[in-house]
Structure 1
């Protein structure tokens, strides 16, 4: 059945160099409820480290600030369970919020409606955080995801067959999937990538990790699942789409060419975001063919 959004709570992780001045930079989001939790952090700490001192400070001083913030973010991330944990919940986050009163702090909780903790974290991140160099990428990616979601929702015959923000797994290896179309098995997987960003290092890491999992899937097949629910088979020959926003820099162009070569070798169709609605038409055709 079509997912119904429910209430999740989220907490903003803040860097506060001087509590007396009251200045801060938002650097992460914790979101969750029950046994479904997610943590998302900024890809760059440059904005936060600049807040920590005057422009005349040396690069090594700024680097020490970034390292101090990063170590605290690592500690927070280590507390968020990657798998359902009955011993972790809102009480642990509130206890952490009370104890974190120095360099890195947690805000009071706020509600957000979402289908999963990951989606809740993404929505709160978009609303509350500027991620410096990766911000353009995040915002353009979000626009394309929303465009595709609306396109699927306009097709009544597809609505009950579309899964959003699920996980594709091959053995213990997992990766996130933006959209999947399935009935008894998965017929189509689609992931959105944004290349209109100045710094492609974070994007490069994400794509290579995703491609690695897709390579395993092409050999052995896999499963598509949402946390705590039974998985659906992903055949090795499933249709896979990489929806992309075009690059706007030379670095982005180079990274796009590398990504496109990898996708070609993996049998992944590269589709420009301007043509993303063709995925919806193909999904309808695949479902019709499977039922005939």
Structure 2
């Protein structure tokens, strides 16, 4: 499917025309995602003057941060009704040091994948780019494994929304046949700044806690094709291994929560086990 993406740029002096890409917005219709750099130092140093002090650099960073927050809050405040017109209006209004580029097309399955692809292509961010690339690679590898299995492929749904009441979270893969038998989500811990990752995991775990109590429902992002999720559904957390202390600490916290929720914690190198288990679950279901 075609999505559009807009690059968020730091432009300290429009006359010089120099800029640094610091984030992306990607979406189409009612499916939108936002990515931003974790470290603004590269943007703050644009110009390379050796006389800039740390405090002055910090003030520049704060100005950029303020611009990014306005983008993020606008997306969050209007998420249910956000559309291309909203982004174009935002682009018109953002004419200070943080600006939006013209839209460009990208082919992807969801806005999250579109944002990941655009981010990897357009952004230099030593803290975050590794995580986005590794997560995208694992998601694509799992997708290919499901698609190569003729018994599973028609039962697999990608990038769905799991919900309990008004609470929702994303699901990378769901295996279903009347009900949902298996859900799998990919997490990348090879990142220096774990703030955004921690928030995502907390929200995902909260929804799983509700689901374990009451069951839930699974639907496409458009809200169609709703399938029930039983309380005892198999849930997999597929992870890429952390490569630093911050990632290791966050992984231990996440693993503890997943174990309490009955989540299978699977390294990305063993993701093939998910395919085997999905086959077994469907076979057991067909015999009952």
TM-score normalised according to structure 1 size: 0.88
Q: Residue by residue, what CA displacement relative to the aligned partner does 1:20-64 show, whole Å, maximum 9, x if unpaired?
A: 232222122222233333333233333322327635433333332
Q: CA 1:251–1:76 in structure 2 vs 1: closer, same or farther (change >3 Å)?
A: closer
* 1:144 aligned residue: 138
Is 2:38–2:193's contact at 8 Å kept on the other side of the alignment? Answer: no
- Find out whether 1:192 has 2:186 as its counterpart: yes
Q: Could you tell me how far apart the structure 2 residues matched to 1:244 and 1:271 are?
A: 6
- Find out whether 1:18 has 2:13 as its counterpart: yes
- Find out whether 1:32 has 2:23 as its counterpart: no
Q: Which of residues 245, 248, 252 is equivalent to 1:250?
A: 245
Indicate the SS of the match to 1:291. Answer: helix
Runs of 4+ in 1 over 4 A off after TM superposition: none
* 1:93 aligned residue: 87
* 1:3 aligned residue: none
Q: Residue by residue, what CA displacement relative to the aligned partner does 1:158-187 show, whole Å, maximum 9, x if unpaired?
A: 222222222222222222221111122111
Q: CA 1:180–1:136 in structure 2 vs 1: closer, same or farther (change >3 Å)?
A: same
* 2:63 aligned residue: 68
Q: Could you tell me how far apart the structure 1 residues matched to 2:121 and 2:186 are?
A: 19
Q: Could you tell me how far apart the structure 2 residues matched to 1:53 and 1:263 are?
A: 45
Q: CA 1:44–1:218 in structure 2 vs 1: closer, same or farther (change >3 Å)?
A: farther
Q: Residue by residue, what CA displacement relative to the aligned partner does 1:58-78 show, whole Å, maximum 9, x if unpaired?
A: 333333222222222222233
Q: Could you tell me how far apart the structure 2 residues matched to 1:250 and 1:79 are?
A: 34
Indicate the SS of the match to 1:237. Answer: coil
Indicate the SS of the match to 1:156. Answer: coil
Please, which runs of 5 or more residues in structure 1 have no aligned partner?
1-5
The alpha-carbon deviation at position 268 of structure 1 amounts to 0.6
Q: CA 1:52–1:222 in structure 2 vs 1: closer, same or farther (change >3 Å)?
A: farther
The alpha-carbon deviation at position 217 of structure 1 amounts to 1.5
CA RMSD of aligned residues (A): 2.1
The alpha-carbon deviation at position 153 of structure 1 amounts to 1.2
Is 1:52–1:65's contact at 8 Å kept on the other side of the alignment? Answer: no
Q: Could you tell me how far apart the structure 1 residues matched to 2:97 and 2:48 are?
A: 13
Q: Residue by residue, what CA displacement relative to the aligned partner does 1:79-101 show, whole Å, maximum 9, x if unpaired?
A: 33322x2xx53334334323323
Q: Could you tell me how far apart the structure 2 residues matched to 1:38 and 1:248 are?
A: 26
Please, which runs of 5 or more residues in structure 2 have no aligned partner?
none
Q: CA 1:23–1:150 in structure 2 vs 1: closer, same or farther (change >3 Å)?
A: same
- Find out whether 1:82 has 2:79 as its counterpart: yes
Number of residue pairs aligned between Structure 1 and Structure 2: 284
The alpha-carbon deviation at position 126 of structure 1 amounts to 2.4
- Find out whether 1:112 has 2:110 as its counterpart: no
- Find out whether 1:271 has 2:266 as its counterpart: yes
* 2:220 aligned residue: 226
Q: Residue by residue, what CA displacement relative to the aligned partner does 1:94-153 show, whole Å, maximum 9, x if unpaired?
A: 343233232111111111122333332222222222333122222211211111111111
Q: Residue by residue, what CA displacement relative to the aligned partner does 1:195-221 show, whole Å, maximum 9, x if unpaired?
A: 222333333332223222212221122
Q: CA 1:43–1:162 in structure 2 vs 1: closer, same or farther (change >3 Å)?
A: farther
